[in-house]
Amino acid sequence: MKTTTIAASVALVLGLSTVTAAQAEDVEVLHWWTAGGEAAALDVLKQDLETQGVGWQDMPVAGGGGEAAMTTLRARVTAGNAPTAVQMLGFDITDWANEGVLGNLNSVAAEENWDEVVPTALQAFAKHDGNWISAPVNVHSTNWVWINKAALDEAGGKVPTTWEELVTVLDAMKANGITPLAHGGQPWQDATIFDAVVLSMGNDFYQKSMIDLDMDALSGDEMTEVFNRMEKLRSYVDENFSGRDWNLASSMVIEGSAGMQMMGDWAKGEFVKAEQTPGEDYLCIRFPGTQGSVTFNSDQFAMFGQDDGDSDAQLKMASSIMNPVFQSAFNVVKGSAPARTDVPNDAFDDCGKKAMSDLAEANTANSLFGSMAHGHAAPAAIKNAVYDVVTQHFNGELSSEEAAGELANSIEAVL
């Protein structure tokens, strides 16, 4: 998206702000949105708050999965100096709520009827003991594949819908002399692909293995096949993948040096920033075999209790986040779907419209699942156990059979 378009969206949001500017207040915001598309999206919120007399103290901590940010947060809270607002995912919110350190947003939530417009699956993380403790910004779905259209055309032009068709396309891209699969060797990125492969084995299998944590599902033949497929995908990754940030992998697809990337829809922000058009420059598809199903995560801003009078600024920030016009403007730039069900899709491109319709379809069909890789299927200790095994296997340290057994053992050990 061009800067002028972003500015126009911001201006629209600012014009609809209902809270008048008052004496300057500040919010200190800890987040990990440092990549180009993410930074542009976050700027929408910053500028909206500035019109309301709320200053923004930025505290970015790089790292696409948020692990480094959570480490920084723990140190700040332990020192008695919690930030005003913190970007969080899933069970991290629940964990902090259980510690009794999060602020209460009930007054603004009641005034703006959040209960009626926020999907129940998101409310499970945004509320604790019936109290609103965070404001959801978006719904990301994670089982996407982003494909360079020219590379696909040169590989035969057929959009893969099954595992076998995916392998055929990747083989053709490899034969054409490009990196078939752009990937960054970080545990959360490995786990993002793993999530999609598990889901491609069927909704029931995802439910049993990733959410119910059924030991037979975790250690059985189907899980061994999941790891076999992960091993196959590893064969399409270039040798310089270790430590690569996800947005650099997106750039490989944008530039045409790689054929595709398997990543959540935050990747679309990079394509938007590069002024690429879906259907012309790139394609967005669900991971083959997962059509009709969605794994999701949701970025939310949790508000930490403050003793210095910051609560009014927190309520203004929460209200700005939940403004329907902001939800549209933000998610158009970010690549995600709105966290409200009543936001029109007019401003969204084809991939954005698909994200919103897929989300609605999955919600209705009970095929909407919290992502294990992104902290919405199980608590952090279990997620980290999955990370360890998946990354060991992806790096060739475990066979597929060993990985399936170790996955069950590691999860059982932390239950």
User: Tokens 């055309």 belong to which residue?
Assistant: 153
Cα 3 to Cα 8, 9, 186, 250, 275, distances in angstroms: 9, 10, 31, 20, 10
Q: Over the chain (415 residues), what is each successive 10-residue block's mean pLDDT?
A: 38 40 71 81 87 93 83 94 93 93 95 91 92 95 98 98 98 98 97 98 98 98 98 98 96 98 93 94 98 95 76 92 91 88 94 92 88 93 97 98 98 97
Q: pLDDT digits over 158-193, tens only? A: 999 999 999 999 999 999 999 999 999 999 999 999
Give the other-Cβ count within 10 Å of 226's Cβ: 24
Q: pLDDT digits over 376-385, tens only? A: 999 989 999 9
Q: From CA 391, how far away is CA 204, in angstroms rounded?
A: 24
User: Tokens 């959410």 belong to which residue?
Assistant: 211
Q: Which run of H or of E encompasses 90? A: helix 90-98
| Closest CA relative to residue 92, chosen from 75, 70, 122 | 70
Sequence letter at residue 67: E
pLDDT of residue 65: 67
User: Tokens 């319709």 belong to which residue?
Assistant: 357
Q: pLDDT digits over 96-152, tens only? A: 999 999 999 999 999 999 999 898 888 989 999 999 999 999 999 999 999 999 999
The full set of domains in the chain, from first to last, is: 3-141+297-355 (3.40.190.10), 144-295+367-414 (3.40.190.10)
Cα 82 to Cα 102, 127, 303, 353, distances in angstroms: 10, 20, 10, 37
Give the other-Cβ count within 10 Å of 352's Cβ: 24
Are 40 and 10 in contact, with CB atoms under 8 Å apart?
no
> What is the distance, to the nearest Å, from the Cα of residue 30 to the centroid of all Cα atoms in its chain?
17
Cα 95 to Cα 77, 84, 88, 266, 301, distances in angstroms: 13, 17, 11, 24, 14
Contacts for 37 with CB less than 8 Å, ≥ 6 apart: 247, 266, 268, 269, 270, 272, 273, 333, 334, 335
Sequence letter at residue 8: A
Q: 136 is written with which tokens?
A: 């959801």
Q: 133 is written with which tokens?
A: 């403790």
Q: 125 is written with which tokens?
A: 């993380």
**DSSP characters over 237-299:** S-TT-BT--HHHHHHHHHHTSEEEEE--GGGHHHHHHTT--BTTTEEEEEPTT-TT-EEEE-E
Contacts for 309 with CB less than 8 Å, ≥ 6 apart: none
